[in-house]
A and B are shown apart, each in its own frame.
Chain A
Amino acid sequence: MSNAHTDVEEKSQSLWLLACPPTIWAVHFLGSYALAVMWCRGGGTGGYWLGVSIAAPAVVALALIAIVGWNGWKRHKIPGGEAPHDGDTDEDRSRFLGLATVLLAALSAIATVYIGVAALIFGGCG
């Protein structure tokens, strides 16, 4: 990781990175769902504090997504090469995986924001 040109080799790349941002979204989403069900089932009426209990972890999730996204961005922005970066080189393959990670991070971030905002606005159990 010390040198941008050393981490484009096959062994330092993985498809799992692509799955990270949406997995973070999924964990937060399922956690929010479980929390809401238990909160409401436990006799609560929900409301502001339930909303905050979902929105606050959403901020943590967003931070994690941002870290993965930043990692992808670094891979995408390695210098050199020509757009559209679809050449048969290690660098272009690394750029692709980086860009796909960034895009998935952006989508996951939007979806996470949706969840947090929805919980803040409609926090009630009724």
Chain B
Amino acid sequence: MQHQDHEPLAESPPIELQRQQTERLLRAWAPAKGWRYWSEVNNSVVGQWYTGLTIFFLAYGGVLAALMRIQLSIPNNKFMTAETYNQVFTVHGSVMMFLFAIPIFEAFSIMFLPQMLGARDLPFPRLSAYGFWAFLMGGMTLCLSLFFNAAPSGGWFMYPPLTSKYEPGIGPDIWLLGFSFIEVAAIAASVELIIGILKSRPPGMRIHLIPLYCWYVLVAAAMILFAFPPLITGSMLLELERALNWPFFDVSRGGDPLLWQHLFWLFGHPEVYIVFLPSVALVAMIVPTFARTPIVGYSWIVLSAIGTGFISFGLWVHHMFTTGLPGITLALFSAASQAVAIPTGVQIFCFIATMLVGRVVNSLPMMFVFGALATFVIGGLTGVMVAVASFDFQAHDTYFIVAHLHSVLIGGSIFPFVGATYYFYPLVNGKKLSERLGRIVFWCLFIGFNVTFMPMHLTGLRGMPRRVYTYSEGLGLETLNLISSVGAAILVAGFAVFFWDLLRNKDQEPLSERNPWGAGTLEWLQEMPGKPWGVRSIPEIDSRYPLWDQANIVRDVDEGRFFMPDAEEGKREMLITSVIDAKPVQCLRIPGPSYIAFWAALFTGGAFILPTFKLYWAAAACAAIATGVILRWLWNGTAIIPEKERKYIGHGVEVPLYASGPDSVGWWAMLITMLAVITAFVSLLFGYLFYWTLDRDFPPPGMPGPGWFWPTLGTAMLMGSWALTNLVRKWNRQDDARLVYGGLGVSCLLAIAGGAAMIAGPYLNGMDPTQHVYAATIWLLVIWTAIHAGLGLIMNAYCIARRAFGRMTAKYDIDIHNVGLFWHFVAITAVATEIVLVVFPILK
């Protein structure tokens, strides 16, 4: 059956109707005023906060870099002490990676994705706001620690035993706990972005017509789900060792510091591509605009994005070539590291081909694109060099690596980011940045970058190790370092001009014309300045470049000739469409301004960050309050039963206002979140298998184990709870209240008993988690499972309350669907724990 296209209304709606429609839309979407401004959750507002804060962190990390270059400009410099230098380079690396490079893509996407999709907002506005507040709190904690001489100093990848035994202060705790908090926020953002791209496209924007930016962000967000959890697990292990003396990385008690390196780089290498893909996505938006032609090789670029996403998970050991792994392991990872160059190269050829096919218009954003491609290719080539294990043995931990990674990150992230800022800035407040200042910025950054980092290749090959606070005279390093420091000064000048251009008062300047660059993609529909509703009416899309190919689309959108031109009920609404062909399937009501996300972030932040200062009871109190706040958020703000079943959205189309199960965005959010959670659990299993494989005495002979009885009993009860919860879903549909309440009640009891039985295994058998890594790992596995049982308990009790208060009915049953889905993951966790606890010791 051919897809039915909906053409815009042939006639303009009457002027009076248009006026009423815009008035109602404005009222529904009006930003909160005064102090209430900070309760706003609309993507364009939150996106601006997010981007602004990220740029602040960029400046902060940049100042630290400049301080390092001052210290290294001459040999035996006394500008900084070794300890200060250690803190400065650790915070520089951590800030640039965790507080700039990754979040800038989330910030940009939250701000611009709805515009690119012709959507009013993303499906979970409060989740975006929650992510922003979490990011602010976690990031500021790390940045401020430097002023109290309390920052971490073990390098941005925090290798134990340096960070477990030899750094007694609170620095590493701030890093481990604060960043785990930010990583949770990043996972929240990726849930938002994935569902946004798959489910909130305009009608007709089929999967092969979506802007390439969306493909890249989809892949990067999916990568976050699988890359961040290993780091969260690793951070948890390291923090447990530091705080409670559980010996995960302590060799004398069976631990192994190499496990940290595995978990860290399982995150760390994909992370490079999580940074790079969204940046190259910006390039993919800018190039067709200025080449005045559609992108060449759309499918090939999609291949690049997906292929890079996958292969980047098979590279982590190339950061560990010098740790004494078997030769064949090095060969396998070296081969994969070479393979990733293929998809990375393909997209660059696509961009070059697009420029050749079209007629490139000279413009500022394109200069940054050229700068990005040139710089990134250099970094990519040195990357191929260090992917050769034998070369890496020489270059490892020298300034050659510093030069390589900065070429990749500055070419692959900074240049596209600055170029995109000049390109997209009119969408933020309707004004353009200065062309003249922009050119100064470009040349300062381009020249400054090369003068700083090119000599570092040689500095490294001459043997200068990274992370030393000074060096002696007569080693042939003086001139090279001085040149690098001069280059850094030029870079600083460039950034200073850039920040000035962003911050200077532009009140006197005229508004930019609409679509100032003559682009073809939907975000340039926006009026100057933009309206809070995002898009006046939601267009039907027939092309990858609708502004070029669909005649009168701007007029038709503005006059409300497309879908949902009105807010009849005065509510914020958006359109949900199908994944492949973007057919309208639901009108989703989304929440307006509220402080609830702020409070939720504040108290979850307390739960994460207060343990740094050993304030465990305060942290527990925060966790309890956070749970209460989140329940309140869910109770009042989600799965609201609408006043009518369906809503007319125009063009003869009527869609439901409520959907549950796999049809609802909430169900997908639960699924995606739980994929991340189960990945963290798999990382923990990886830890167990790591010890189990490498250590002949794991489990150690003579040491008590958890036994078979309690884990098996616990697993059986949790499986019972799982089965009952999912039966309740069916019974609820049949509206059998007795079975629903009875089933949920029994499943709650089983969850409590099951969780307790899990804990009973190691507890009653007298396992001491500080004695040996075996006991510590078993304890952690059962606690993990018990926490899941506890969450399941809360959810089931929540469903009882929802039904009792009439907020969940036989027909409106989002809650029980999502809870049933959660319990699938509890069941998987319990069974895997059972296998590890009971079966694996027998296999040995």
Chain A interfacial positions (CB closer than 8 Å to B): 9-10, 13-15, 18-19, 22-23, 25-26, 29-30, 32-34, 36-38, 40-41, 46, 50-51, 54, 84, 86, 88-90, 92-93, 96-97, 99-100, 103-104, 107-108, 110-111, 114-115, 117-119, 121-126
18 contacts between A and B (CB under 8 A): A10-B578, A15-B580, A26-B310, A34-B693, A88-B543, A90-B2, A90-B581, A93-B580, A97-B208, A104-B303, A107-B303, A107-B311, A110-B339, A111-B339, A114-B339, A115-B332, A119-B331, A126-B326
Say whether B328 contacts A97, CB under 8 Å. no
The docked-state distance in angstroms from the alpha carbon of A3 to that of B206 is 23
Chain A contacts for B723, CB-based, 8 A: none
Chain B contacts for A126, CB-based, 8 A: 326-327
Which of B246-254, B293-301, B614-622, B640-648 lies at the binding interface? B293-301
Chain A contacts for B544, CB-based, 8 A: 86
Q: Is B694 an interface residue (CB 8 A)?
A: yes
Chain B contacts for A119, CB-based, 8 A: 328, 331-332
Q: Which residue of B lies closest to A6 (CB)?
A: B1
Chain B contacts for A30, CB-based, 8 A: 314
Partner of B331, one of A10, A15, A97, A118: A118
Say whether B336 contacts A29, CB under 8 Å. yes
The docked-state distance in angstroms from the alpha carbon of A114 to that of B332 is 8
Say whether A93 contacts B206, CB under 8 Å. yes
Chain A contacts for B298, CB-based, 8 A: 84, 86, 96
Say whether A89 contacts B3, CB under 8 Å. yes
Chain B contacts for A115, CB-based, 8 A: 332, 335-336
Chain B contacts for A111, CB-based, 8 A: 311, 314, 335-336, 339, 342
Q: Which residue of B lies closest to A99 (CB)?
A: B299
Say whether A36 contacts B306, CB under 8 Å. no
User: In the assembled complex, how far is the CB of residue A35 from the closest CB belonging to chain B, in whole angstroms?
Assistant: 9
Q: A15-B580, A104-B306 are in contact. Are A41 and B207 (CB under 8 A)?
A: no
Partner of A46, one of B204, B327, B335, B581: B327
Chain A contacts for B207, CB-based, 8 A: 15, 93, 96-97
Sort A-B residue pairs by CB-CB distance and give the 6 closest, nearest first: A96-B208, A22-B310, A122-B331, A103-B303, A118-B335, A114-B335
The docked-state distance in angstroms from the alpha carbon of A107 to that of B345 is 12
Chain A contacts for B734, CB-based, 8 A: none
Say whether A110 contacts B342, CB under 8 Å. yes
Say whether A36 contacts B332, CB under 8 Å. yes
Chain B contacts for A46, CB-based, 8 A: 326-328
Interface residues of B in 507-553 (CB under 8 A from A): 541-544
Say whether A122 contacts B307, CB under 8 Å. no
The docked-state distance in angstroms from the alpha carbon of A92 to that of B2 is 12
User: In the assembled complex, how far is the CB of residue B550 from the closest CB belonging to chain A, in whole angstroms?
Assistant: 10
Other than A89-B3, A111-B311, A126-B327, give 18 A-B pairs with Cβ distance below 8 A.
A10-B580, A18-B306, A25-B310, A36-B326, A36-B332, A40-B326, A51-B328, A84-B298, A88-B209, A90-B3, A99-B299, A103-B307, A108-B310, A114-B339, A115-B336, A119-B331, A124-B328, A126-B326
Chain B contacts for A14, CB-based, 8 A: 580
User: In the assembled complex, how far is the CB of residue A51 from the closest CB belonging to chain B, in whole angstroms?
Assistant: 8
Say whether B338 contacts A114, CB under 8 Å. yes
Say whether A117 contacts B326, CB under 8 Å. no
Q: A36-B328, A96-B299 are in contact. Are A89 and B336 (CB under 8 A)?
A: no
Q: Which residue of A lies closest to B690 (CB)?
A: A37
**Interface SS, A side:** helix
Q: Is B329 an interface residue (CB 8 A)?
A: yes
User: In the assembled complex, how far is the CB of residue B350 from the closest CB belonging to chain A, in whole angstroms?
Assistant: 12
Interface residues of B in 535-584 (CB under 8 A from A): 541-544, 578-581, 583
Interface residues of B in 29-83 (CB under 8 A from A): none
Say whether B327 contacts A124, CB under 8 Å. yes
Q: Which residue of A lies closest to B302 (CB)?
A: A100
Which of B313, B329, B543, B694 is packed against the most chain A CB atoms within 10 Å?
B329
Q: Which residue of A lies closest to B581 (CB)?
A: A10
Say whether B336 contacts A114, CB under 8 Å. yes
Q: Which residue of A lies closest to B337 (CB)?
A: A114
Q: Which residue of B lies closest to A106 (CB)?
A: B303
The docked-state distance in angstroms from the alpha carbon of A50 to that of B331 is 13
Chain A contacts for B331, CB-based, 8 A: 118-119, 121-122
Chain A contacts for B543, CB-based, 8 A: 86, 88
Interface residues of B in 203-232 (CB under 8 A from A): 204, 206-209
Q: Which residue of B lies closest to A111 (CB)?
A: B339
Q: Which residue of A lies closest to B205 (CB)?
A: A88
User: In the assembled complex, how far is the CB of residue A86 from the closest CB belonging to chain B, in whole angstroms?
Assistant: 6
Q: A100-B303, A104-B306, A115-B335 are in contact. Are A37 and B1 (CB under 8 A)?
A: no
User: In the assembled complex, how far is the CB of residue A92 from the closest CB belonging to chain B, in whole angstroms?
Assistant: 6
User: In the assembled complex, how far is the CB of residue A21 from the closest CB belonging to chain B, in whole angstroms?
Assistant: 9
Chain B contacts for A103, CB-based, 8 A: 299-300, 303, 307
Chain A contacts for B328, CB-based, 8 A: 36, 40, 46, 50-51, 119, 122-125
The docked-state distance in angstroms from the alpha carbon of A28 to that of B583 is 37
Say whether A33 contacts B332, CB under 8 Å. yes
The docked-state distance in angstroms from the alpha carbon of A99 to that of B209 is 14
User: In the assembled complex, how far is the CB of residue A69 from the closest CB belonging to chain B, in whole angstroms?
Assistant: 12
Which of B300, B309, B314, B317 is packed against the most chain A CB atoms within 10 Å?
B314
Q: Which residue of B lies closest to A14 (CB)?
A: B580
Say whether A92 contacts B208, CB under 8 Å. yes
Q: Is B343 an interface residue (CB 8 A)?
A: yes
Q: Is B334 an interface residue (CB 8 A)?
A: yes
Say whether B339 contacts A88, CB under 8 Å. no
User: In the assembled complex, how far is the CB of residue A6 from the closest CB belonging to chain B, in whole angstroms?
Assistant: 10
Chain A contacts for B541, CB-based, 8 A: 88
Say whether B208 contacts A86, CB under 8 Å. yes
Interface residues of B in 583-599 (CB under 8 A from A): 583
Q: Is B735 an interface residue (CB 8 A)?
A: no
The docked-state distance in angstroms from the alpha carbon of A14 to that of B307 is 17
User: In the assembled complex, how far is the CB of residue B412 from the closest CB belonging to chain A, in whole angstroms?
Assistant: 20
User: In the assembled complex, how far is the CB of residue B579 from the closest CB belonging to chain A, in whole angstroms?
Assistant: 7
Say whether A38 contacts B313, CB under 8 Å. no
Say whether A29 contacts B326, CB under 8 Å. no
Chain A contacts for B302, CB-based, 8 A: 100
Partner of A41, one of B306, B310, B583, B694: B694
Partner of B314, one of A29, A50, A100, A122: A29
Q: A26-B314, A36-B328, A86-B209 are in contact. Are A19 and B306 (CB under 8 A)?
A: yes
Q: Is B7 an interface residue (CB 8 A)?
A: no
User: In the assembled complex, how far is the CB of residue A125 from the closest CB belonging to chain B, in whole angstroms?
Assistant: 4
Chain B contacts for A110, CB-based, 8 A: 339, 342
User: In the assembled complex, how far is the CB of residue B586 from the closest CB belonging to chain A, in whole angstroms?
Assistant: 16
The docked-state distance in angstroms from the alpha carbon of A43 to that of B2 is 62
Say whether A86 contacts B204, CB under 8 Å. no
Q: Is B663 an interface residue (CB 8 A)?
A: no
Q: Which residue of B lies closest to A107 (CB)?
A: B307
Chain B contacts for A40, CB-based, 8 A: 326, 328-329
Q: Is B736 an interface residue (CB 8 A)?
A: no
Q: Which residue of B lies closest to A98 (CB)?
A: B299
The docked-state distance in angstroms from the alpha carbon of A15 to that of B194 is 13
The docked-state distance in angstroms from the alpha carbon of A26 to that of B315 is 11
User: In the assembled complex, how far is the CB of residue A82 from the closest CB belonging to chain B, in whole angstroms?
Assistant: 14
Chain A contacts for B303, CB-based, 8 A: 100, 103-104, 107
Q: Is B5 an interface residue (CB 8 A)?
A: yes
Say whether B332 contacts A107, CB under 8 Å. no
Q: Which residue of A lies closest to B325 (CB)?
A: A37
Chain B contacts for A33, CB-based, 8 A: 317, 329, 332-333
Partner of B204, one of A22, A37, A88, A107: A88
Q: Which residue of B lies closest to A114 (CB)?
A: B335
The docked-state distance in angstroms from the alpha carbon of A124 to that of B209 is 48
Q: Which residue of B lies closest to A88 (CB)?
A: B542
Chain A contacts for B327, CB-based, 8 A: 46, 122, 124-126
Chain B contacts for A41, CB-based, 8 A: 693-694
Which of A14, A46, A93, A119 is packed against the most chain B CB atoms within 10 Å?
A93
Say whether B343 contacts A107, CB under 8 Å. yes
The docked-state distance in angstroms from the alpha carbon of A36 to that of B313 is 18
Chain A contacts for B314, CB-based, 8 A: 25-26, 29-30, 111
